[in-house]
Structure 1
């Protein structure tokens, strides 16, 4: 049996690995570490939870023992798709590099540029970042990439999903062609294969899992439910309460709006729950993850931003509140449980409109997922009971608008009063309309009269009307329009001329 001492790692690294409690390397580590120490390019195809991060962290620590960093010129570069993944890789370097004196710089959003600039000025042996933040620093002239010896592209398929491939291509042009490249992806779609062919030179291909397979230690079940959100929430609560061996769980939703709604619902029902989605600022996200890891909260409701690479070693359950639209996301979601040989359980709530997505998942993973307590055909008809209405009232507030209130006598009186007022108000427009009709009729008659008089007669009528208007103005005239103060100039403003 292979152990870490057989892989060629330095004594400093081996000591840190032993202190962390690891003795036997995983298949991805056995396959990737020796060629990485020989400065060969690596193409690693492995799911999260297989020890993939250590397969590039450990050889990098050994290789970095020689040499030193210079200001603004990092020696190695690791690209991650999300802030959480970047922060977790930094934690791995802290854990396994405790016997080294290396400068680790983490460049992610949510942290001020000034603080990150100070780290870069000290020199970075390892630069861990998201593509966007790295390009921001490069455009500000704070980074020189000509000294990069090792480039790591982690979660390449996730990079593709998030639209980072153009950024990665720009970054690759800034780095020396002679670099060593370690390229990792959970899946290998055609676009990622083309990218790997462009970046890697004669790579060592290490594939430790069948494409999009799920861990055999995870018990998978489909759970039938009606389509209303409040009905799905009731099914989820019943599931959670029925799991006697539940230690902690991640609950996945397809949209961040649903994450917030489900979090509020579970919180109202007394569950120990937190939420994680893309709109949270960096400090809140890291604090939420820390609380979940430390056991301060039992349930974590998350969007797919948290599905890839979360380093939470002991998650007992995964619940899919929504069936993922992309079948590959199912594999990444349930990869949060059943890690490192531990047993785990996943439950996916399925409605009639989700059948096509569930079929796509079964086709991708190459196995049929059993139903928990019967499939959709065995669902009872939804009951409009008092309990369901009460549950809807607490979980889905907007459903309350559909219920008509029961009218009391006081309500009836109020309505009658309003109706009477309405009738009184409606008589006013009728009188106004009558006056308008009479005036319109008079004006029409005048108009018809004028139109019957040709030439001079019409001009004479116009002259008569003009005379009447002028007489009216004279009758109501108060005198000429005053200019300035008129005759009322204050005495102190008068200047008496000398004779």
Structure 2
């Protein structure tokens, strides 16, 4: 019954496939679609005409579609955001390179601008981060000294990435006398005393936080959510299905704040049993009753630029097979995913698979790629150092546990190697989605799985669930 109350998201059929965006959020571009020279008019600037403006965009797009295509036209992000997002931020957005909308931005932003709660459900690299940041920046008042938006993330690494994009967009403009929005990263490992002083001296307009750090601040009454207009939970399925964090997330949504006093946005590339999840959102009062589930690429959850392969090998020769693949594929940059060490293995005093693999590569791999490690057990400084080295340029071989699978954007990655198969199809989707994120490129990226013969049926289950096919390699 509750699900029947949901309204379907507006669907704009004027689809621009070309995506000249910043590397941090995008999937590879495709060709522009041709349409009649009629273009969508810019939205009115009055804050009192928000609904009228959205209808104008929809009507103009419908009119464009009905005419015979004779000239290349494109609905831009400016067309969608004008009248909602301040001009200096639109200008900054275009300077960075955000010009044309992705499918999720085209479908979700008009709904978000009406104030509706939304669940953004789209492929990895589809632009969900920019979508909710534009909503936040449309509502923030830089003159107010209070926290007005909170973005909750599952990992420190994703938080650093979101913070970087938010600060680029919200930076003070040199052309106009407009105060920039301050963005605070409240992430695991931060100095509580420093954050406490900052919040008292000049409360930031936007806070990007991990669940643990945010709840700690709320419990200590250092931070309040009374003035928060927008609450975003990124990678929402991971947070809700993680036994370590789900209790804190529920408390954040219901005890520390009320859905009636905020606009709530959930985002993820994967939401298992999403109809049931939407029902829970309403019943548990995580969102308002009129929440909209916007599902883009529902038929093909896996990015189309990926080729999937597998090699059947024994456990004892996995290292040598991986080395042969690195030599034959010659990746520009690659992520090698390794499974988490079991508690039984830890108690036995065994070295984790990541350590063994790093040591093997350092002695056996003679290529030019820099070998780096990223795993949850590393301290925060070591994890940050690994990502900093990657982003300074040059090719890399990143040996990682699933901590790198959620939201981290490394657009130079051309190959994914699943040294150990993930536990679920959802984990496979997020691992694979780390490749194929480089803009202006139509290059096919490769996901290769090293499996035993007994694991073939597991991989087949992933193929069926995610609707992709995997080719066997014979070495």
TM-score, shorter chain, exceeding 0.5:
yes
1:314 and 1:298 map into 2 onto residues whose CA distance is: 9
User: What corresponds to 2:92 in structure 1?
Assistant: 16
Q: Contact 2:142 / 2:205 at 8 angstroms: preserved in 1? A: no
Displacement after TM superposition at 1:210 (Å)? 2.1
Q: Contact 1:250 / 1:300 at 8 angstroms: preserved in 2? A: yes
2:320 and 2:91 map into 1 onto residues whose CA distance is: 50
Larger gyration radius, structure 1 or structure 2: 1
Q: Bigger relative contact order, structure 1 or 2, given CA contacts below 8 A and separation 6+?
A: 2
User: What corresponds to 2:78 in structure 1?
Assistant: 5
2:294 and 2:375 map into 1 onto residues whose CA distance is: 32
Displacement after TM superposition at 1:224 (Å)? 1.9
User: What corresponds to 1:83 in structure 2?
Assistant: 156
User: What corresponds to 1:470 in structure 2?
Assistant: none
Structure having the larger proportion of residues in helix: 1
User: What corresponds to 2:269 in structure 1?
Assistant: 186
Displacement after TM superposition at 1:342 (Å)? 4.0
User: What corresponds to 2:240 in structure 1?
Assistant: 160
Q: Contact 1:292 / 1:299 at 8 angstroms: preserved in 2? A: no
- 3-state DSSP of counterpart to 1:147: coil
- 3-state DSSP of counterpart to 2:215: helix
User: What corresponds to 1:205 in structure 2?
Assistant: 293
| Correspondent of 1:105 among 179, 184, 187 | 184
User: What corresponds to 2:429 in structure 1?
Assistant: 331
Which aligned segments of 4 or more residues in structure 1 are displaced greater than 6 angstroms? none
2:394 and 2:406 map into 1 onto residues whose CA distance is: 22
User: What corresponds to 1:144 in structure 2?
Assistant: 224
Matched, 1:302 2:400: yes
**Alpha-carbon deviations, 1:372-424, whole Å to 9, x = none?**
227xxxxxxxxxxxxxxxxxxxxxxxxxxxxxxxxxxxxxxxxxxxxxxxxxx
Displacement after TM superposition at 1:200 (Å)? 2.1
Matched, 1:358 2:459: yes
**Alpha-carbon deviations, 1:308-349, whole Å to 9, x = none?**
100222311111111112121111111011125643111111
Gaps of 5+ in 2: 1-73, 174-178, 342-351
User: What corresponds to 1:217 in structure 2?
Assistant: 305
Matched, 1:250 2:348: no
Matched, 1:264 2:371: no
2:396 and 2:88 map into 1 onto residues whose CA distance is: 36
Alpha carbons of structure 1 residues 338 and 316: separation in structure 2 relative to 1, 3 Å: same
1:335 and 1:151 map into 2 onto residues whose CA distance is: 25
- 3-state DSSP of counterpart to 2:218: helix
User: What corresponds to 1:235 in structure 2?
Assistant: 321
1:195 and 1:275 map into 2 onto residues whose CA distance is: 38
For 1:268-307, list aligned pairs within 5 A: 268-269=363-364, 270=366, 272-296=370-394, 298-307=396-405
Q: Contact 2:308 / 2:469 at 8 angstroms: preserved in 1? A: no
Displacement after TM superposition at 1:195 (Å)? 4.0
2:143 and 2:116 map into 1 onto residues whose CA distance is: 19
1:295 and 1:161 map into 2 onto residues whose CA distance is: 35
1:31 and 1:65 map into 2 onto residues whose CA distance is: 25
For 1:30-109, list aligned pairs within 5 A: 30-65=106-141, 67-70=143-146, 74-98=147-171, 99=173, 101-109=180-188
Displacement after TM superposition at 1:161 (Å)? 3.2
RMSD value over aligned CA atoms?
A: 1.9
| Correspondent of 1:123 among 182, 203, 217 | 203
Displacement after TM superposition at 1:192 (Å)? 3.5
- 3-state DSSP of counterpart to 2:261: coil
1:116 and 1:353 map into 2 onto residues whose CA distance is: 50
1:59 and 1:150 map into 2 onto residues whose CA distance is: 8
- 3-state DSSP of counterpart to 1:152: strand
Q: Contact 1:48 / 1:308 at 8 angstroms: preserved in 2? A: no
Alpha carbons of structure 1 residues 250 and 84: separation in structure 2 relative to 1, 3 Å: same
User: What corresponds to 2:28 in structure 1?
Assistant: none
- 3-state DSSP of counterpart to 1:145: coil
- 3-state DSSP of counterpart to 1:199: coil
Displacement after TM superposition at 1:125 (Å)? 0.5
- 3-state DSSP of counterpart to 1:301: strand
Q: Contact 1:13 / 1:62 at 8 angstroms: preserved in 2? A: no
Q: Contact 1:327 / 1:357 at 8 angstroms: preserved in 2? A: no
- How does the TM-score come out when normalised to structure 1? 0.70
Displacement after TM superposition at 1:38 (Å)? 2.3
User: What corresponds to 2:281 in structure 1?
Assistant: 196
**Alpha-carbon deviations, 1:64-121, whole Å to 9, x = none?**
1465123xxx211111111111111101111211235112111111121111112212
1:301 and 1:162 map into 2 onto residues whose CA distance is: 23
For 1:465-480, list aligned pairs within 5 A: none
Q: Contact 2:122 / 2:301 at 8 angstroms: preserved in 1? A: no
